[in-house]
Amino acid sequence: MNLRELLSPLLVYDAAGELNMEITGISTDSRKVKPGNLFVALRGNTVDGHDYIEQAHANGAIAFLVEEDQDVPDVTIKVSDTTRALAILADQFYNHPTSKLQLIGVTGTNGKTTVTHLVEQILNNAGCATGIIGTIQMRMGDYTEEVKNTTPDALELQRMFAIMVERGATHACIEVSSHALEMGRVWGCNFTSGIFTNLTQDHLDYHQTMDNYRHAKSLLFSQLGNIYNDKRKFAILNMDDPSAARYRKMTAAQVITYAIDQEADVRALDISIGAGGTSFTLRTFKGEVTIEMKMMGKFSVYNVLAATAACLVEGITLSQIKESIEQMTGVPGRFEPVDEGQGFAVIVDYAHTPDSLENVLTTAREFTKGKLYCLVGCGGDRDRTKRPIMGRIAAEQSDYVIFTSDNPRSEDPKAILDDMLQGVTEKSTAVYECIIDRKQAIEKAIALATSGDCIIIAGKGHETYQIIKGQVLDFDDREVASFAIRNRIK
């Protein structure tokens, strides 16, 4: 693209050099710069892109978007905020892909991944070619890419959306993290709908307070737009969560509500949870059906309600929604069973917040006839305040707890477990022990379990690695558990 054309949406900037030149691409990583690229110098929390301009130049960058004057022989474009300018230029470079998509964003502490996967399956089954971006991957049909962050930066997002459009997508569903909203990663994304799942404690290492965290989530809804003659915009809110009332006031979009405990546009009634799944009456503004699904737990019902509301907005019929929900067995690493024919249940779940851990244990308790085992840790270099809370929940909701490493990162794993043990009080009824080595912890739990018991392996879910002292090691809870079970029953 011609550089002058690329810059045309920017109103205020200072340029030095000839702008009538072709740009082969945009890059924010000096190591990945290709000849003919525009290099954008971003200021991060720990890294300043301005320090890597020479490296970008050596790798072939011919133009530089900066916030301060630079002594380079090529074209420089100076702006006050390169992050904001990047969002504008990325949208321009990739020819405004989200304006060609029905884009659904999902935010909240828990449930984002499951809701996006439900929406994707329902829409695809109904004939709407749908892409997805989130914690697990970016996917469009048979095309997939790994995703570094739950929500990639503005440049990566627009590139991915452009791939979806090129591959025939009509819809896209994306997990939108609080970090992404706070950092402007989704600036330039023309959302059709924003979904709010819930708000419970997480990420306070970054946001500092729950009010800040709540506000970050609100940005998805306040940024939906303020007019009604463009794309119709919808805020889809879980009214059983107190934060929904604030988000309702902050958006100009049409509000579609869902709930279990309150009256809402989409509601679940007569919920029954068993070992084989969950049934309930799904009452909506488009009619009522009975759902018999394989997914388990009240939290799964909330996820289904959110996805149902989003798909009804997109014109999908209630019968199509019912059929898709009842077909779905689950999402990788979300209440995922490990079954090798053993006489006890082993379930791997991504639960890494107090609320999600409590939800998983509560659900497991409903069908567990014997003892409930919980294997849990907390991530290092992350919110420390939730550690004792998770320790308390595990010890109060389980019969036997094994505290173990999650992703300790740069921290001492024993110190993390010490933080968790502060939550274990005299009210705790569980037997507990600490086994720092996660593989040994899983093997111990499986060795202890007997017929009718249930083991919850919490925290890592779909992850296939463990981060210890800067090393990324191969580790998959599901594979480790499966191997341990086979060794026990052979």
67 and 111 together in one domain: no
pLDDT of residue 274: 79
Distance of alpha carbon 32 from its chain centroid, rounded? 26
Average pLDDT over residues 466-477: 95
pLDDT of residue 82: 96
Show which of 48, 81, 114 is a domain's final residue.
81
286 and 407 together in one domain: no
pLDDT of residue 299: 92
Average pLDDT across the chain, whole number: 93
Assess whether pLDDT exceeds 60 at residue 49: yes
Span 150-189, pLDDT tens digits? 778 999 999 999 999 999 999 999 999 888 898 889 999 9
Contacts of 204 (CB under 8 A, 6+ apart): 210, 213, 383, 385, 386
Span 50-78, pLDDT tens digits? 999 999 999 999 999 999 988 877 899 99
465 and 395 together in one domain: yes
Given a contact cutoff of 8 angstroms between Cβ atoms, the answer to whether 348 and 478 are in contact is yes
Q: Is 245 domain-assigned?
A: yes
Show which of 57, 81, 105 is a domain's final residue.
81
State the CATH number of the domain containing residue 19. Answer: 3.40.1390.10
Q: Is 59 domain-assigned?
A: yes
Distances (CA, A) of 186 to 100, 199, 219: 16, 20, 10
Assess whether pLDDT exceeds 90 at residue 143: yes
Assess whether pLDDT exceeds 70 at residue 313: yes
Span 423-462, pLDDT tens digits? 998 778 899 999 999 999 999 999 999 999 999 999 999 9
pLDDT of residue 151: 78
In this prediction, residue 205 has a pLDDT band, given cuts at 50, 70 and 90, of: low
255 and 357 together in one domain: no
State the CATH number of the domain containing residue 413. Answer: 3.90.190.20
**Facing residues of 345 across strands?**
454
Among 27-31, 203-207, 290-294, 385-389, the range scoring the smallest mean pLDDT is 203-207
Q: Is 318 exposed, middle or buried (0-12, 13-18, 19+ CB in 10 A)?
A: middle
442 and 472 together in one domain: yes
Lookup: tokens for 13:
């900037």
64 and 192 together in one domain: no
Average pLDDT over residues 336-364: 93
Given a contact cutoff of 8 angstroms between Cβ atoms, the answer to whether 354 and 389 are in contact is yes
Assess whether pLDDT exceeds 70 at residue 374: yes
Assess whether pLDDT exceeds 60 at residue 203: no
126 and 191 together in one domain: yes
Question: What is the percentage of the chain residues whose pLDDT exceeds 70?
Answer: 98
Show which of 274, 307, 327 is a domain's final residue.
327
Assess whether pLDDT exceeds 60 at residue 79: yes
pLDDT of residue 98: 96
Full domain range(s) for residue 192 = 97-327
439 and 470 together in one domain: yes
Q: Is 196 domain-assigned?
A: yes
Average pLDDT over residues 271-282: 90
In this prediction, residue 240 has a pLDDT band, given cuts at 50, 70 and 90, of: very high
pLDDT of residue 213: 83
The structural domain count of the chain equals 3
For residue 459, how many C-alpha atoms fall within 13 Å in the half-sphere facing its CB? Answer: 27
Q: Is 69 domain-assigned?
A: yes
Average pLDDT over residues 380-397: 94
Assess whether pLDDT exceeds 80 at residue 468: yes
Backbone torsions φ then ψ of 74, nearest 5 degrees: -110, -170
376 and 448 together in one domain: yes
In this prediction, residue 201 has a pLDDT band, given cuts at 50, 70 and 90, of: low
107 and 163 together in one domain: yes
385 and 282 together in one domain: no
Assess whether pLDDT exceeds 80 at residue 329: yes
Average pLDDT over residues 26-34: 96
Question: What is the percentage of the chain residues whose pLDDT exceeds 90?
Answer: 82
Average pLDDT over residues 252-260: 97
174 and 295 together in one domain: yes
pLDDT of residue 206: 59
In this prediction, residue 231 has a pLDDT band, given cuts at 50, 70 and 90, of: confident
pLDDT of residue 170: 98
How many other CB atoms are there within 10 angstroms of residue 391's CB atom?
28
Average pLDDT over residues 139-153: 88
Average pLDDT over residues 286-306: 96
